[in-house]
Structure 1
């Protein structure tokens, strides 16, 4: 099996700001695995919050090049188990696992959702994310891209006022993501006001390790709460079941599709709502997320809508959220 990887810098259409950071570009690493004339592609992004850089990712993957190229590839699950013993970060593991799944499906000539026994007759629509900015800019972004569901990033001193103003300009469903910026008291106080403004749920309002605060929120919030930063890997799902109404799985953070599938299954067993989110990936990573759609309640896969120029073809997100799935097997990715 042949391994290649390359760094790309994706310029964003707008400055993307959340409660703890802002950026105008997203660095991403694309990995390809080739075998028997087929190539599978995977993706992972840099992330300052988790101390992941392009250099660290490249060094990790280069260090196991020989092991990967000598591996007898048959199924992605076995490949993931093999890589799990190589001291890789989950971000690096994700790119390799996504590439392995894409390759596997292409070798079989079937999309992953079909291999997993699901159909695309019904699937959730992705939200479109509005990052923190002035109310005028947030409203402008929303009007620039009319969408049925918006995720509103919050974590300011005027959060409810922002949502109240945005509500004047659309009847779309709102979701609110505070990215750990609120306290339990703020969350409980804000929830009924936001519910009246058409907010569907709150995502990660408290700091990731504030379990005592989340216990208060679970008992008193009138809106459902979805875990993000509190739910990184498989072991986190069960604990989140006691403190949240649902989980947001990020492929980069958990280590790819292989663990994500197990997290989805565990989430359903616990009666949690299940969401998969993105980290502003290109169509490479988003096409992998799309294969999971039949198994999800919610999805945040708007990465290709937020970047100025894509680097790949695969899943197509049309106006209003309708999707065109690629005809290739696997995730259906081809690089431009």
Structure 2
């Protein structure tokens, strides 16, 4: 078996700015992995997790470090070995997904069948992210997103003035469903009161209200909407913690380190009656494609990464009527 692996960094501009509590982005650097064998090629993409101090360049070095070990293996064996060779993160995600894609190509089967889906994947309603900003700016952005057909909006919050921001978005998009990402910022707030206030504005889910390591702040909180873990849930290793303190988890392939772990995490989370969300980082449609498969059974889908870019790859997903639709 002559498995050839390569990796490179690509830069893609953001449409305007993407702003969260930790800062603003005008572009995203993605790690693209390619796996070749017997004339077939598989491609995968990952985005570095900034709060874990990852970079796309470090991801290239990680992949280069395992190329020789994997070169004598078939794609499935290489993918299985990869789970131990690299930690969860951008490098393993990009290469794991490339190996899945290669395996499907060699087998002459669609990836969804290899991934164990019972039926072909369908278009999904996806959230559209409203970047953090002043209430009037977020109100205008929400109105624009609603006019584009997005009926599910995800608001980035910061722990200060969040009620005003949500109220403004509600004015801008009065018929939209709302979910919010607190980005670990509610540790100093009355979490229960904040949750009730946002629920009264129509918010149906709150993501990561407290910082990693402060999950016990959620104990005893009686909230009218579910709390979902994002930063607190990187992989199956955190499921026990999440089951104690949260109502569900947000699965992102860049966190789990690929489709392999994402599928396993989804199965085990559902077995624990945890609610599922599948999200993404800023990315092109190449990075979203395997996440779209993992999202088929999720309650909330947040795969708007390509819709936030100034341009996407050719033959990428389209976004129509608030849904993510394959080419």
TM-score (norm 1): 0.89
CA distance in 1, matches of 2:137, 2:177: 19
SS of equivalent to 2:172: coil
CA distance in 2, matches of 1:321, 1:127: 8
May I ask how many residue pairs the two structures share in their alignment?
Answer: 320
Preserved contact between residue 120 and residue 294 of structure 1 (Cα < 8 Å): no
SS of equivalent to 1:242: helix
CA distance in 2, matches of 1:244, 1:237: 10
What does residue 333 of structure 1 align with?
none
Preserved contact between residue 119 and residue 294 of structure 1 (Cα < 8 Å): no
CA distance in 1, matches of 2:89, 2:122: 30
Residues 21 and 114 of structure 1: is their aligned pair in 2 closer, same or farther, counting only changes over 3 Å? same
CA distance in 1, matches of 2:85, 2:99: 16
Can you list the C-alpha shifts for 1:177-208, whole angstroms capped at 9, x where unaligned?
Answer: 01101127432111111111111110001001
> 2:89 matched to 1:90?
yes
Can you list the C-alpha shifts for 1:287-311, whole angstroms capped at 9, x where unaligned?
Answer: 1111123222221110000000113
Match of 2:165 among 139, 148, 162: 162
CA distance in 2, matches of 1:7, 1:214: 39
> 2:80 matched to 1:81?
yes
Q: CA deviation at 1:228?
A: 0.3
Q: CA deviation at 1:277?
A: 0.9
Preserved contact between residue 8 and residue 33 of structure 2 (Cα < 8 Å): yes
Preserved contact between residue 26 and residue 46 of structure 1 (Cα < 8 Å): no
User: Which runs of no fewer than 5 residues in structure 1 stay unpaired?
Assistant: 327-336
Which of 262-271 and 111-120 deviates more?
A: 111-120
What does residue 199 of structure 1 align with?
203
Match of 1:289 among 283, 288, 291: 291
What does residue 114 of structure 1 align with?
113
Q: CA deviation at 1:121?
A: 6.8
Residues 294 and 157 of structure 1: is their aligned pair in 2 closer, same or farther, counting only changes over 3 Å? closer
Structural RMSD (CA): 1.8
Residues 117 and 54 of structure 1: is their aligned pair in 2 closer, same or farther, counting only changes over 3 Å? closer
What does residue 319 of structure 1 align with?
320
Q: CA deviation at 1:89?
A: 5.1
Q: CA deviation at 1:14?
A: 2.3
User: Which runs of no fewer than 5 residues in structure 2 stay unpaired?
Assistant: none
Preserved contact between residue 124 and residue 296 of structure 1 (Cα < 8 Å): no
Match of 2:279 among 271, 277, 280: 277
Can you list the C-alpha shifts for 1:77-135, whole angstroms capped at 9, x where unaligned?
Answer: x3233123324553211111011111122222332223313224766411000110122
Can you list the C-alpha shifts for 1:39-85, whole angstroms capped at 9, x where unaligned?
Answer: 11111112331110122111111122222322233x2xx32331233
> 2:130 matched to 1:130?
yes
Moved over 4 A (4+): 120-124
Match of 2:220 among 216, 226, 235: 216
Residues 226 and 124 of structure 1: is their aligned pair in 2 closer, same or farther, counting only changes over 3 Å? farther
Q: CA deviation at 1:214?
A: 1.9
SS of equivalent to 2:53: coil
Residues 59 and 122 of structure 1: is their aligned pair in 2 closer, same or farther, counting only changes over 3 Å? closer
TM-score (norm 2): 0.92
What does residue 156 of structure 2 align with?
153
Q: CA deviation at 1:246?
A: 0.6
SS of equivalent to 1:310: coil
1:1-336 matches, cutoff 5 A:
1-73=3-75, 75=76, 78-88=77-87, 90-115=89-114, 116-120=116-120, 124-146=124-146, 147-170=150-173, 171-183=175-187, 185-217=189-221, 220-314=222-316, 316-326=317-327
